[in-house]
Structure 1
């Protein structure tokens, strides 16, 4: 039967592609930067150099040495993606795809983070720990949307624990290092056009797809496939913090790649009349199975600068390089012999995130922040999919901290992300359909955090 293996071969590949396709509501690619609302209020300018922010455990552990007291900090940022799709496509036999625009696929999704820092007496050593969610988001299209064969539900969650230490022995330079433990879980689904598969594979060939008397025609008898997977990985981060005086601080950090072996289940939903035909003509096809795929999250290098213009006004800058080029492809293995089933090409490019921001201490109780950022997308139109309608973006951020005492403070931040209209061009699904069109969208980020020193 023509294309009889297409869903079984590519289902897990689509799932892995989905895992790699999140973060479109915040940073480019599948990265989520939001582990600090102080940094969010500056568009993450100074993320590796600014003082007074416990999220440096995961952003630059060397900067923990600036804390003279123990501190705990809790952040939560709600990411709300708004997107509208306009476009269409054709089935594997050339008939137009039917369906709506999928609605707004983004839900308001909270991203939590918690950090703690502990200076060890007068030893010059500081220890820290942070729990954060560096990758992941949830999108869900309506069942009958025109791109249902590419994506329906996509739900990815990651939890990352960073344990770090910094060292400063009275010099102008601090160094730091940390160990990263990362766990990822994913559930992804898309529809399958069994009508096209059966009519195109019949003895009459594709001509059967245009026979109005046939019980199997394109976009009739849709089924679905759902992919779940999870794994854990270990990585590391190192950093340096240079502070020659009270005005200037320079931070550098490098986060390693993290290798994982994502293992998952592939579950098919097949209409009863389709299952009867498959049992007679293609036994063993479209059955539930297991699979795995190696996954490498990218390395990230960051340089930050903070400078105090006056005692109450500070400016910051940030440049981050994300090594997305490591995501050239994902190879899918399945079966007892780990046979290669599919190779999904990404061909992503390395990206640069650049931001500038500032802080103004209005008085002893309030600090106002603002920032602007440019964020490149690693994707390209040839391989961009509805699971990652990603494009270059611009950030505009504001934030405010209220200190009720020397020990306790609360911070709020807001960011609007303007996303250049992502285009899809003849993106092929596992059902052989192609989809083209444009997404029009933006993201709103609302954050609040609290820090207590003791």
Structure 2
């Protein structure tokens, strides 16, 4: 029964690792770039040099571009569509396939709100600009059908981060500014998956072939249970930036957002534990925790105005996903119970966009972007069926008055079909394989309002 008894600790490990593998449609990994609908409409090109209150959290130095008190709110709906084709087998035996369907569409439409405000100082504080922002830089949710073929790897995944950013910018001279901000981040996670107790019992009996013996009383996929893990934490990070605008045509911006380390603490609740294992303390509900690191992000933006009405913009972004190499799981007592590797790599994002003012009241914009995935073909899981992405965007602004601007944007994301090829790993609680491919895309719709006074 040794392999069966390791399931309690490894299940917690996999569940907390799942906080990192949450399918998210807007950017690689579980990153979100929906702080600004204007940026959405141009695939984030020029995001660090915008005349947009969202720069509070993106590049504080660019807050000097706003010469009035400005309040902005942005709402973006992310609709991920994905379909799994494939299957699996018990202990890798082709003659013992997993039952279940394709899981349905795991990506329900999700609303991502963001809000920001900027306040230029006057008098003796001329040249100083203050701002605050509340937004969601990471996370989304996926939810598979409870009887799908990959239920032993993932069911529900719901991870959210909410940031409060307080920033300041200082204009050093005409065209030169610097800025910095403090980020207070709240991270929460709720995840679940099924457990094949039948296979766990027969595989841990000392003879794994019992799983394929019709006379053995405990059979695969006949004693399904499950668990739900919940965790949360608050942590602090920072963002710094600068902007160079030597003339009215050219602007260059740079921003760096730090890693934020979270020590998640939470609970693990088991369901459907068979009577044979019900008295075992390793299958009792309890507390646990793990370290979660949201990655560093470095971005360079360029804007160039060919005419007074036409501007070309570009972005290059480097996201430090390599900080997520493994997760060490601890009990509430501090005892280490396991470590799970996933080997993500750093990613590059590039975009090119343009804006055209058709009149003082209306601006049209568009853009295209390329986004690399941090995942790989060896460790990719159904919690993040991610791969390289291409972004196509259009948007528009309406200056209703000197005080009010309304924006709308649409983005289509195509995703290179990712593959899943997960082997049996008894020590980690995985008693079956899962092999297949995903096909999917995402649509993003955004609206925003900016009020100046």
**TMscore range, shorter length:** over 0.9
Deviation of 1:284 (Å)? 1.7
* Contact 1:155–1:186 (CA under 8 A) maintained in structure 2: yes
Go from structure 1 to structure 2 and tell me whether the alpha carbon gap of 1:231 and 1:335 turns closer, same or farther (over 3 Å shift). closer
* Contact 2:315–2:350 (CA under 8 A) maintained in structure 1: yes
Deviation of 1:5 (Å)? 2.7
Q: 1:327 aligns to what?
A: 324
Residue aligned with 2:53, SS:
coil
CA displacement, residues 158-185 of structure 1 (integer Å, 9 cap, x when unaligned): 1101000000143321000000000011
**In structure 1, C-alpha distance between the alignment counterparts of 2:23 and 2:38, rounded to whole Å:** 20
Q: Does 1:188 align with 2:191?
A: yes
Matches within 5 A, 1:48-447: 48-50=48-50, 52-92=51-91, 94=93, 95-122=96-123, 123-202=126-205, 205-271=207-273, 274=274, 276-279=275-278, 283-336=280-333, 338-428=334-424, 430-447=429-446
Deviation of 1:84 (Å)? 0.3
With structure 1 as the length reference, what TM-score do the two structures score? 0.96
Residue aligned with 2:198, SS:
helix
Residue aligned with 1:285, SS:
helix
Deviation of 1:23 (Å)? 5.3
Deviation of 1:79 (Å)? 0.4
Deviation of 1:16 (Å)? 2.1
**In structure 2, C-alpha distance between the alignment counterparts of 1:232 and 1:24, rounded to whole Å:** 22
* Contact 2:328–2:340 (CA under 8 A) maintained in structure 1: yes
**In structure 2, C-alpha distance between the alignment counterparts of 1:45 and 1:141, rounded to whole Å:** 34
CA displacement, residues 81-103 of structure 1 (integer Å, 9 cap, x when unaligned): 00000011112362211110000
Ranges in structure 2 where 5+ consecutive residues have no aligned partner: none
Deviation of 1:335 (Å)? 4.6
Deviation of 1:211 (Å)? 3.2
**In structure 2, C-alpha distance between the alignment counterparts of 1:23 and 1:387, rounded to whole Å:** 6
Ranges in structure 1 where 5+ consecutive residues have no aligned partner: none
Question: Number of aligned pairs?
Answer: 446
**In structure 1, C-alpha distance between the alignment counterparts of 2:143 and 2:217, rounded to whole Å:** 30
Matches within 5 A, 1:34-45: 34-45=34-45
Q: Tell which deviates more after alignment, 80-89 or 205-214.
A: 205-214
Residue aligned with 2:3, SS:
coil
* Contact 2:118–2:131 (CA under 8 A) maintained in structure 1: yes
Structure 1 segments, 4+ long, off by >6 Å, are none
Go from structure 1 to structure 2 and tell me whether the alpha carbon gap of 1:93 and 1:303 turns closer, same or farther (over 3 Å shift). closer
CA displacement, residues 285-320 of structure 1 (integer Å, 9 cap, x when unaligned): 311111111121111100000011100010100000
**In structure 2, C-alpha distance between the alignment counterparts of 1:387 and 1:111, rounded to whole Å:** 20
**In structure 1, C-alpha distance between the alignment counterparts of 2:286 and 2:26, rounded to whole Å:** 34
Deviation of 1:116 (Å)? 0.1
**In structure 2, C-alpha distance between the alignment counterparts of 1:139 and 1:294, rounded to whole Å:** 22
* Contact 1:149–1:430 (CA under 8 A) maintained in structure 2: no
Deviation of 1:22 (Å)? 2.9
* Contact 1:23–1:135 (CA under 8 A) maintained in structure 2: no
**In structure 1, C-alpha distance between the alignment counterparts of 2:320 and 2:72, rounded to whole Å:** 29
CA displacement, residues 125-168 of structure 1 (integer Å, 9 cap, x when unaligned): 00000000111111100011000000001111211010000001
**In structure 2, C-alpha distance between the alignment counterparts of 1:170 and 1:210, rounded to whole Å:** 76
**In structure 2, C-alpha distance between the alignment counterparts of 1:189 and 1:320, rounded to whole Å:** 33
**In structure 2, C-alpha distance between the alignment counterparts of 1:105 and 1:345, rounded to whole Å:** 24
Deviation of 1:239 (Å)? 0.3
* Contact 2:23–2:385 (CA under 8 A) maintained in structure 1: no
CA displacement, residues 244-296 of structure 1 (integer Å, 9 cap, x when unaligned): 1111100000001111101110110025xx1x2124xx622311111111121
Deviation of 1:3 (Å)? 1.6
Deviation of 1:340 (Å)? 1.8
Go from structure 1 to structure 2 and tell me whether the alpha carbon gap of 1:439 and 1:6 turns closer, same or farther (over 3 Å shift). farther
